[in-house]
């Protein structure tokens, strides 16, 4: 017991030294207000809040589903319907995923549940990690905390219930950091999610415990550094609009 404790203490000290060294190296490289320090690249923000900035990959702007495919082995064209500037699940036609793959990213997505069903859907980062969409306005009786809208499904309830009534558009703005695995598939650091729902913080740098499962503890399975983003068809009509993503790697 004693030996284990000192070993783990040594681990923390070693980690601390590594972090101090790497942070220290960066601090030494640039003087305060150093004029030679490279300026960040310029990104033109959207014309109004929620609009995609200049460096975003627009995944859906109301026109077509060309950036998406059915999330199964067929990879066929999605059957979800487009009306106005929104797309709506065609229940039981299958979840959809982006053709492009992503790792660390910033995501903006708008969604709407109809109120007649539970509005179950979700945003799966890297095909694995679900940020839940559900009719959770006023904490309905069928809800459990780690399964309501804004939860990291089965792992972290949202910090608060920031849901709008069904039938109204809601937003998620998410910073997603992918998990890191070594070459043998061993977990080096967990994934993390920070999410705002309708501008309200619901997940604050929350540790991801593993890929999303129902009714049991999550665990990691190693995967590629970039994977598609998936929108869930859980048999309920749910609409989406104005979806854009900024790869952060
Ligand atoms: Mg779901």
Residues 136, 119: Cα–Cα separation, whole Å:
9
Distance 53 CA to ligand 1 centre (A): 28
Residues 168, 119: Cα–Cα separation, whole Å:
12
Cα dist from 34 to 4, 24, 26, 91, 247, whole Å: 45, 16, 13, 56, 28
Distance 242 CA to ligand 1 centre (A): 19
Distance 121 CA to ligand 1 centre (A): 4
- Contact 89/121 with Cβ under 8 angstroms? yes
Neighbours of 95 (CB within 10 A): 19
Distance 132 CA to ligand 1 centre (A): 5
pLDDT at 139: 77
- Taken in order of first residue, the domains within the chain and their CATH numbers are 2-17+46-247 (2.60.120.560)
Grouped pLDDT means (10 residues each) for the chain, 249 residues? 43 45 57 95 96 98 98 96 96 96 98 92 98 92 92 98 97 98 97 98 98 97 98 96 96
Distance 206 CA to ligand 1 centre (A): 18
- Contact 231/86 with Cβ under 8 angstroms? no
Distance 187 CA to ligand 1 centre (A): 25
- Contact 132/150 with Cβ under 8 angstroms? yes
């Amino acid at each position: 017991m004693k030996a284990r404790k000192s070993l783990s203490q040594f681990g923390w000290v070693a980690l601390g030294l590594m972090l101090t060294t790497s942070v220290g190296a960066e601090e030494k490289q640039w003087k305060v207000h150093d004029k030679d320090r490279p300026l960040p690249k310029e990104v033109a923000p959207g014309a109004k809040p929620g609009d995609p900035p200049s460096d975003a990959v627009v995944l859906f702007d109301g026109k077509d589903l060309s950036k998406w495919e059915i999330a199964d082995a067929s990879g066929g064209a999605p059957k979800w319907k487009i009306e106005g500037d929104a797309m709506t699940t065609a229940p039981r036609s299958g979840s959809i995923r982006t053709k492009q793959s992503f790792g660390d990213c910033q995501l903006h997505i708008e969604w709407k549940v109809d109120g007649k069903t539970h509005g179950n859907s979700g945003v799966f980062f890297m095909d694995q990690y679900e940020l839940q969409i559900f009719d959770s306005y006023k904490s309905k009786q069928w809800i459990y905390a780690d399964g309501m809208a804004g939860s990291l499904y089965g792992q972290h309830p949202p910090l608060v219930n920031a849901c709008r009534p069904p039938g109204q558009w809601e937003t998620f703005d998410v910073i997603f950091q992918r998990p890191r695995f070594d070459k043998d598939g061993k977990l080096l650091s967990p994934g993390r999610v920070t999410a705002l729902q309708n501008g309200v913080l619901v997940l604050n740098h929350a540790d991801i415990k593993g890929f999303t499962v129902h009714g049991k503890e999550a665990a990691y399975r190693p995967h590629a550094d970039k994977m598609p983003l998936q929108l869930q068809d859980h048999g309920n009509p749910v609409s989406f609009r104005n979806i854009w993503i900024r790869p952060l790697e």
